[in-house]
Structure 1
Amino acid sequence: MNLEKILAISGKPGLYILKVQTRSGFVAESLADGKKITVNLKSNVSLLSEISIYTYEGEKPLSEIMQTIADKENKGDALSHKAENAKLMEYFKVILPNYDEDRVYPSDIKKILNWYGILQSKGLLNDDAPATAEEPSAPAVEEVNEEATEKPAKKAKAKKE
């Protein structure tokens, strides 16, 4: 499951796809309605690929948890994030039996299930799914190929005598 370009932006509902990096921030596209927004560097932004959940043994990446939910539900709908806290915690205990109940709150579980629902509805839960619904975007920072930037040697002109 590829969550590398999927973003959660504090203060904004839903999830976004990183499109282009700019000097003052970046442009992201909403998964909900496809609208593009500019986000400055001062905003609190989280890449889903960098999020982990506390367990008693350490931390478990969100991508593995999403994959576990997808496998359990056969890539279908999971429990609604609007369910009661007791049901949410019981469901999450099935998904991740050793999660740290003291540090993982019902609000965290709601967020994870909400994000799962968004990704599932957009078909982004496949192992080979691109980071965007249409086509993968160019990397934010392009690498420069040294061979392509070398200037060709000038041809020596033959002297006429």
Structure 2
Amino acid sequence: MSLDKILSIGGKPGLFKLLTQTRTGFVAESLLDGKRVSVGLRNNVNLLSEIAIYTLSEEVPLAEVFQKIKEKEGGEKTPITHKAAKDELEEYFFAVLPDYDEDRVYASDIKKIVQWYNILQAQGMTDFVSEATAEEE
């Protein structure tokens, strides 16, 4: 499954899989516990495929960052958790994406990225870069 159907919903922990659209919003399923939630149009919702990370030269799509983590860890979970200290998180992220913009990418952003990667890896959703993107490279 691509990141086009994976959501982050403000105020709710974890990630969600988009199931269906309704007249007043949509229905999503938690990747953590499988519970379904109804989400209104007023909620702050982000598709993971639309998120990018600032670097010193460009914005790198989140899928590419996840792919770099996957390559670094050999497809396994990260050795660091999202609850690690700020310095540890920044050091780990620097090893993954050496030119990230330290002024615009906060420790809270790195925590989310590490947490989201581990959730997706636990669900077996590790095809982050689409075939079309892989062919371009």
User: TM-score under structure 1 normalisation?
Assistant: 0.77
What displacement does 1:45 show? 0.1
What displacement does 1:2 show? 1.9
Query: What amino acid maps onto 1:49 in structure 2?
Result: S
Distance 1:118 1:106, change over 3 A: same
Distance 1:99 1:11, change over 3 A: same
User: What SS does structure 1 have at the residue aligned with 2:19?
Assistant: strand
Task: Quote the residue 1:139 is aligned against.
Answer: none
User: What SS does structure 1 have at the residue aligned with 2:20?
Assistant: strand
Query: What amino acid maps onto 2:84 in structure 1?
Result: A
Greater helix percent: which structure?
2
Q: Give aligned pairs, total.
A: 129
Provide the C-alpha distance between the structure 1 equivalents of 2:48 and 2:87, rounded to a whole number of angstroms: 25
Task: Quote the residue 1:63 is aligned against.
Answer: 63
What displacement does 1:123 show? 0.5
Q: Which structure has the larger Rg? A: 1
**Residue ranges of structure 2 left out of the alignment (5+ in a row):** 131-137
Task: Quote the residue 1:116 is aligned against.
Answer: 117
Distance 1:109 1:127, change over 3 A: closer
**Residue ranges of structure 1 left out of the alignment (5+ in a row):** 130-161
Within 5 A, what are the aligned runs for 1:24-35?
A: 24-35=24-35
Query: What amino acid maps onto 1:92 in structure 2?
Result: F
Provide the C-alpha distance between the structure 2 equivalents of 1:33 and 1:88, rounded to a whole number of angstroms: 26
Distance 1:31 1:101, change over 3 A: same
Provide the C-alpha distance between the structure 2 equivalents of 1:9 and 1:127, rounded to a whole number of angstroms: 20
Q: Is the 8 A contact 1:2 1:63 kept in 2?
A: no
User: What SS does structure 1 have at the residue aligned with 2:75?
Assistant: coil
Q: Is the 8 A contact 2:31 2:123 kept in 1?
A: yes
> RMSD of aligned C-alpha atoms?
1.5
What displacement does 1:86 show? 0.6
Q: Is the 8 A contact 2:30 2:36 kept in 1?
A: yes
The structure 1 segments of at least 4 consecutive aligned residues displaced by more than 4 Å after TM superposition are: none
Provide the C-alpha distance between the structure 2 equivalents of 1:106 and 1:123, rounded to a whole number of angstroms: 26
Distance 1:85 1:5, change over 3 A: same
Provide the C-alpha distance between the structure 1 equivalents of 2:75 and 2:82, rounded to a whole number of angstroms: 16
Give the stretch that moved more between structures: 75-84 or 115-124: 75-84
Provide the C-alpha distance between the structure 2 equivalents of 1:106 and 1:128, rounded to a whole number of angstroms: 24
What displacement does 1:88 show? 0.6
- Superposed CA offset, 1:65-122 (max 9, x none): 0010011101101121111111110110010000000000001000000000100111
Within 5 A, what are the aligned runs for 1:35-114?
A: 35-78=35-78, 79-114=80-115
- Superposed CA offset, 1:121-141 (max 9, x none): 110013599xxxxxxxxxxxx
